[in-house]
């Protein structure tokens, strides 16, 4: 290979490296800006968010517009740690206001959306939030990270339907271990799963919820109110109502 060709190849490699580096830095800067916007809301840094109810409205808008972009981005632990701190502060605001009927239901719904957003990002990246901060799942392996995608493909045919069903059941067990406390009653878990479905429908949570309802009914628990909520969610999903 001639010297000229070597130099041209080297130049292309350097240009490609620099382009990727700049693109990555720009993306990180953009994510930092979005998180700073969330911090501005949670801390009430501008007069637009001096009132607590305005902070909740700001959080709701942030989740819809800016938060949605995080699902497809490569984020760092420091990013999600900062977001968690903002959500925790918003939860404190709700406690300060108490159960004021004018705001309580709306605030509760927004916090559920925020919790779902955080939980989804943690689950997708194999992280766990503890009192000591953000850590990697000790037991988490690559198969669990891919499990959600596999469950989503359960109705797309294929010969290994039994295997897909077994993985769907394994996913439920992992959810119980990673995202719920050992002392949580199944009714508490069912209620939380229904709230997740109301905010963001998903096939795996739908399957998990149906299993919980059936098991509790077998054990003579009064699940009719939960069953009606579940049916309502399925009807809304079928006709495309948000």
pLDDT digits 0-9 by tens, 233-242? 888 877 554 4
- Of 138, 162, 190, the residue that ends a domain is 138
Percent with pLDDT over 90 in the chain: 9
Question: Are 127 and 175 found together in one domain?
Answer: no
pLDDT at 140 > cutoff 50: no
Mean pLDDT over 78-85 rounds to 86
User: Range with the lowest mean pLDDT among 29-33, 138-142, 163-167, 221-225?
Assistant: 138-142
C-alpha distances out from residue 36 to 26, 28, 42, 74, 178, Å:
15, 12, 10, 17, 29
d(CA 239, CA 219): 32
DSSP 182: T
DSSP 137: -
Question: Are 209 and 220 found together in one domain?
Answer: yes
What integer pLDDT is reported at residue 203 of this predicted model? 79
Contact 34, 79 (CB under 8 A): no
Question: Are 104 and 120 found together in one domain?
Answer: yes
Radius of gyration (Cα) for the chain, nearest Å?
22
In sign, the C-alpha dihedral spanning 35, 36, 42, 46 is negative
Question: Are 202 and 156 found together in one domain?
Answer: yes
Question: Are 121 and 149 found together in one domain?
Answer: no
Mean pLDDT, all residues of the chain: 76
- Helices 77-97 and 52-65: crossing angle in degrees, nearest 10, is 150
Domain that holds residue 225: 139-242
Comparing CA positions, the residue from 161, 162, 127 lying closest to residue 144 is: 127
User: Range with the lowest mean pLDDT among 50-54, 117-121, 155-159, 190-194?
Assistant: 155-159
Percent with pLDDT over 70 in the chain: 69
Interval 35-69: pLDDT, tens: 999 999 999 888 888 888 899 999 999 998 888 77
- Of 82, 112, 138, the residue that ends a domain is 138
Question: Are 98 and 108 found together in one domain?
Answer: yes
d(CA 27, CA 72): 11
Q: Number of structural domains, the chain?
A: 2
What integer pLDDT is reported at residue 178 of this predicted model? 63
Question: Are 156 and 98 found together in one domain?
Answer: no
- Of 138, 169, 192, the residue that ends a domain is 138
Mean pLDDT over 80-89 rounds to 88
d(CA 107, CA 186): 25
pLDDT at 18 > cutoff 70: no
Contact 168, 154 (CB under 8 A): yes
Question: Are 108 and 197 found together in one domain?
Answer: no
Question: Are 154 and 82 found together in one domain?
Answer: no
Question: Are 33 and 11 found together in one domain?
Answer: yes
Question: Are 128 and 161 found together in one domain?
Answer: no
What integer pLDDT is reported at residue 101 of this predicted model? 64
Q: Could you tell me the pLDDT band of residue 3, with boundaries at 50, 70 and 90?
A: low
pLDDT at 23 > cutoff 80: no
Q: Could you tell me the pLDDT band of residue 1, with boundaries at 50, 70 and 90?
A: low
Contact 79, 25 (CB under 8 A): no
pLDDT at 134 > cutoff 80: no
Mean pLDDT over 131-154 rounds to 48
Question: Are 114 and 10 found together in one domain?
Answer: yes
- CA end-to-end span of the chain: 62
Mean pLDDT over 206-217 rounds to 89
């Amino acid at each position: 290979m001639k010297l000229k060709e070597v130099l041209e190849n080297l130049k292309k490699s350097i240009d490609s490296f620099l382009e990727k580096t700049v693109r990555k830095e720009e993306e990180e800067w953009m994510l930092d800006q979005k998180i700073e916007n969330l911090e501005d809301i949670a801390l009430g840094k501008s007069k637009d968010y001096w009132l607590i109810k305005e902070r909740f409205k700001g959080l709701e808008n942030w989740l819809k517009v800016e938060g949605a972009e995080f699902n497809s981005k490569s984020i760092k632990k420091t990013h999600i740690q900062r977001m968690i701190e903002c959500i925790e502060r918003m939860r404190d605001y709700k406690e300060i206001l108490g159960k004021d009927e004018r705001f309580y239901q709306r605030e509760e719904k927004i916090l559920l959306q925020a919790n779902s957003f955080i939980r989804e990002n943690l689950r997708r990246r194999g992280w766990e939030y503890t009192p000591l901060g953000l850590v990697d799942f000790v037991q988490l392996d690559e198969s669990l990270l891919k499990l959600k995608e596999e469950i989503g493909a359960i109705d797309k045919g294929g010969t290994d339907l039994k295997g897909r069903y077994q993985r769907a059941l394994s996913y439920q067990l992992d959810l119980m271990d990673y995202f719920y406390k050992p002392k949580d009653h199944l009714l508490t878990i069912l209620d939380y799963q229904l709230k997740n479905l109301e905010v963001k429908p998903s096939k795996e949570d739908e399957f998990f919820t149906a299993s919980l309802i059936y098991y509790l009914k077998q054990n003579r628990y009064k699940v009719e109110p939960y069953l009606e909520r579940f049916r309502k969610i399925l009807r809304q999903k079928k006709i495309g109502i948000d």
